[in-house]
Structures are given as C-alpha cells and as structure tokens.
C-alpha cells in the first residue's frame, strides 16, 4: 500500500508559538543544538496500489482547498512507499 | 426583523447570541449547519464555540457545511453577516474576510473581560457606536491572533475596515491590535471578543455588547 503524504507548514513569516515552546523545552532538557523549531502537520493518505498521476493531482487540489490555508501555510505533496 | 443564528456541531454561544438578538428587539431564528435553508432571515450570526472540534484548523471544516454555501451567496448579495470568535474564524476560512486567526502568541487560552475600541461605525453591525467608543466585553479564545500579509493589512487600514481594536496590551499577538474587521462592502464583520456575553450588567462585564445587535436592527428597520 503506497501513501500520498502532504506536509503542511506555517509560512516563515507567520509566528509559530508552538514551535517556539518546543524550542524552549528542548533547551531546558539540555538539547542546545536547536536554533529554532517550526511545528507543522503531516497527512498520510493511503491509496490502493501505486498512486496514479490523477490521484496525486486530486490530492494537490485537496491540499489547496482543505488541508492547508494559503493565507498562513504552505504544503508539499509527495509519494511514500 | 429575522436574524439567523447558525449552530454547527461544537457551537457553544448560539443560545447567548439568540438571547442578545431577542433583547435587541429582533426575532432570533435558529439555523442548522446541515440545512442550506436560511429561512428568510435578513441577517446571519455565526456564533462562537469549537465547530467540528476545531479539527484541522479552527473553522476549516465548517466552511464546507451546506448552510455556508447559502451564507456565502447571501453575503455576496449584501446580507449582513457577523462572525463572533469561532464565527470569525469560519468567515476567514470561507474567504468572506481576509487573513487568518492563529494560535495566541503566548499559547494561553484567554478568558477575561477585555477593553476594545470601536474604530468604524460604518458597518450595519456597529452603527449605534460612536467612533473611538471604548467598551468592555469578554474575550475567550485560544486562536485569536489576527494575521495577514502586509498588503492586506495596509488595505484594511486604508479602507477603514478595522472595526475594533484591543485597548492596552495585545492579548493574543494580533497585527495592529485588530479585534475585528469587515469586508470591503462592510456587510460582513468578524469580531474576536464576545458582545453577546455583555448585553446585561447582571450577567456580563457591561451591557455595551448589545450595541452590535441594536445596530443590525436599526440598519434594517427604517
């Protein structure tokens, strides 16, 4: 079963207080490597067999329409085996 | 005058909104998210709450409810629409209003009385207020930070479409202390704080929130 994955991230200019809170927590735990943290969403969409070009383009549409909000977010669609 | 109040799954403030409409002298009409029929209302309120559990993004799923198709059409024809809190989020997700509401900058869910300043009385929802009138009404949200790009912000400011601003410290990180905005025509208004919880000093911090509801009545009954 292959998966079509959609990663949604806040645009760089949009404040991400959740990511900032995670970055502070990392620092408190001694993980001092993190310059900054951004938190996003990942959608895994299972399809029967190999995803077709038409399925991928429909997922692109769904990502634009529902899964992301273009005012504040960007998305990337990819296939994962 | 008939004013509709939409109930989505997870809406909390529909009863208070209906009570405020009744108190203003208009007739409150319940509308259901799954029913596209607007029941001959002359204005619509999208109340606060957590429609669809705020899943995905606040307001993102409600936008596609059958009733919203009718609301979007009616708004395009000039029907007054007010979105309060979660209703504001739904209006942004529906593209009836620009921008988006994101997580409060300090991550806290806020629930307190908040002073706001009315900065436009040109909309049918704010016309009984004086410009720069300050009122205290409750604010209660986790995702109330109004965000938009610089160009949209400049448009909102230049066209006088910021209808209310927070007074004092910025409670949630909203750009330019924005508490409420309108669309270009002025008939669609989104407001983060809750006027429907402040219609009577007995049960709220003031009675000043009633102004939003008497405004719509005065706008329609001439």
ipTM of predicted complex: 0.87
Q: What's the pLDDT score for residue B189?
A: 98
Q: Which among A13, A21, A66 has CB closest to B60?
A: A66
In the sheet that A2-10 helps form, which strands lie side by side, from edge to edge? A41-47, A2-10, A73-80
B2-220: what fold?
Rossmann fold (3.40.50)
What is the pLDDT confidence band of residue A1, given thresholds at 50, 70 and 90? confident
Flag if A69 and B105 touch (Cβ within 8 Å): no
Mean pLDDT of B102-111: 94
Flag if A69 and B100 touch (Cβ within 8 Å): yes
Candidates B42, B148, B194, B197; catalytic one: B194
Flag if A69 and B107 touch (Cβ within 8 Å): no
For residue A42, the domain's CATH number is 3.30.1280.10
Q: What's the pLDDT score for residue B222?
A: 56
Q: Does B155 touch chain A (CB under 8 A)?
A: no
pLDDT, mean over chain B: 97
Instruction: Name every residue in A having a CB less than 8 A away from some CB of B.
Output: 10, 13-15, 17-18, 21, 66-67, 69, 71-72
- Residues B22 and B84: their CA atoms lie apart, in Å, by 17
What is the pLDDT confidence band of residue A81, given thresholds at 50, 70 and 90? confident
What is the pLDDT confidence band of residue B27, given thresholds at 50, 70 and 90? very high
Percent of chain B with pLDDT over 70: 100
Mean pLDDT of A17-43: 94
Structural contact between residues B20 and B196, judged by C-beta atoms closer than 8 angstroms = yes
What is the pLDDT confidence band of residue B51, given thresholds at 50, 70 and 90? very high
Active site residue B93: no
- Residues B82 and B118: their CA atoms lie apart, in Å, by 15
Q: What's the pLDDT score for residue B220?
A: 84
Give the pairing of strands A41-47 and A2-10: antiparallel
Q: What's the pLDDT score for residue B62?
A: 96
Q: Which domain holds residue A75?
A: 2-80
- Residues B145 and B141: their CA atoms lie apart, in Å, by 9
| pLDDT per residue as tens digits for the range B124-152 | 999 999 999 999 999 999 999 999 999 99
**Largest Cα–Cα distance of chain B, in whole Å?**
45
Structural domain tally of chain A? 1
Assess whether pLDDT exceeds 60 at residue B170: yes
Assess whether pLDDT exceeds 70 at residue A6: yes
Assess whether pLDDT exceeds 90 at residue A40: yes
Nearest alpha-carbon partner for B116 in B93, B91, B148, B84: B84
Flag if B104 and A17 touch (Cβ within 8 Å): yes
């Amino acid at each position: 079963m292959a998966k079509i994955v959609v990663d949604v991230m806040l645009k760089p200019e949009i404040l991400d207080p959740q990511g900032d809170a995670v970055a502070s927590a990392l620092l408190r735990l001694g993980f001092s490597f993190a310059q900054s943290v951004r938190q996003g969403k990942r959608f895994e969409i299972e399809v029967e067999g190999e995803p077709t070009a038409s399925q991928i383009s429909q997922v692109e549409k769904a990502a634009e329409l529902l899964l992301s909000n273009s005012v504040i977010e960007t998305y990337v669609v990819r296939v994962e085996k | 005058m008939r004013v509709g109040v939409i109930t989505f799954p997870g809406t909390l403030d529909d009863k208070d909104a209906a009570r405020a409409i009744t108190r203003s002298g208009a007739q409150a009409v319940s509308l259901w998210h799954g029913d596209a029929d607007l029941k001959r209302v002359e204005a619509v309120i999208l109340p606060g709450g957590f429609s669809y559990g705020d899943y995905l993004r606040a307001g993102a799923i409600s936008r596609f409810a059958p009733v919203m198709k009718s609301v979007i059409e009616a708004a395009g024809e000039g029907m007054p629409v007010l979105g309060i809190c979660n209703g504001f989020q739904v209006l942004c997700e529906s593209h009836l209003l620009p921008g988006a509401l994101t997580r409060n900058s300090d991550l806290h869910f806020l629930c307190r009385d908040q002073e706001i300043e009315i900065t436009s009385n040109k909309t049918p929802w704010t016309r009984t207020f004086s410009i720069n009138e300050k009122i205290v009404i409750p604010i209660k949200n986790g995702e109330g930070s109004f965000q938009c790009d610089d160009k949209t912000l400049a448009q909102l400011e230049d066209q006088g479409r910021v209808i209310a601003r927070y007074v004092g410290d910025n409670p949630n990180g909203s750009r330019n202390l924005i508490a409420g905005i309108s669309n270009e025509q002025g008939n669609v208004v989104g407001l983060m704080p809750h006027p429907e919880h402040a219609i009577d000093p007995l049960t709220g911090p003031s009675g000043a929130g009633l102004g939003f509801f008497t405004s719509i009545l005065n706008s329609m009954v001439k």
